Structure 1
């Protein structure tokens, strides 16, 4: 069982994140397609292309659609194109989220969606460096 993954982002964000993930992991265990959204893109054409990609990625186990920002054009295209029975959408795509998804290629669509959300959330934290601590004490 493998879930397909469609990444819909502004410009080349999705490609850059996937390239970095592949460099880190050494391979890509899931079938992934990327749909970049640019200013020159036509929304109707993007919606149709997203539908086609979801259909081609769905091997019977569903498709996880990852977008970069809720309420943006990529997110709206995903919401319009996705069929709730065959696709789930997670917004706020970041590198920890994508790495988490690719580390669990055998999970169901629902389980993979949960992993994507937890990876994204847990990948955001405040980092306090030694230099900052020294600056604060002076």
Structure 2
């Protein structure tokens, strides 16, 4: 038994990130689902879809919900789930965050949320140009 993972994003961002991470790792070790949110959606309808998906993923240890941009419709929908279900929401999904989460499938919900945060932060870097190519 492990934590479930639900990815709620604008359009196919979540599906694409999950497909890429799964291909990189060769496996998806968590029970996972995605929810693509259209720009012209009815948020109440999408919330019902999110609750249904989260209920299916919840096997007693909770569900980690990753969403893209805090304050956007997918994030707002995700942040209404804890009112109904044992979920933790982390906004700002990126590929390093998702890969980090999938590498620790046996962690608790709280520990997995912390791995998501560290993976997301640690995966954002300034890639400096080579010194011999710097021009003023």
TM-score (norm 1): 0.93
Residue 19 of structure 2: aligned partner: 19
- SS class of match (1:82): helix
Q: Give me the CA root mean square deviation.
A: 1.5
Between the aligned partners of 2:87 and 2:81, the Cα distance in structure 1 is: 9
- How many residues align? The count is 136
How do 1:53-132 residues align onto structure 2 when only pairs under 5 Å count?
53-83=53-83, 86-130=86-130
Deviation at 1:82, TM superposition (A): 2.6
Between the aligned partners of 2:5 and 2:49, the Cα distance in structure 1 is: 14
Deviation at 1:84, TM superposition (A): 7.5
Residue 134 of structure 2: aligned partner: 136
Between the aligned partners of 1:40 and 1:72, the Cα distance in structure 2 is: 13
In structure 2, runs of 5+ residues without a counterpart are none
In structure 1, runs of 5+ residues without a counterpart are none
Deviation at 1:47, TM superposition (A): 0.7
Do the aligned partners of 1:29 and 1:105 also contact (CA within 8 Å) in 2?
yes
Deviation at 1:137, TM superposition (A): 5.7
Deviation at 1:136, TM superposition (A): 2.4
- SS class of match (2:134): helix
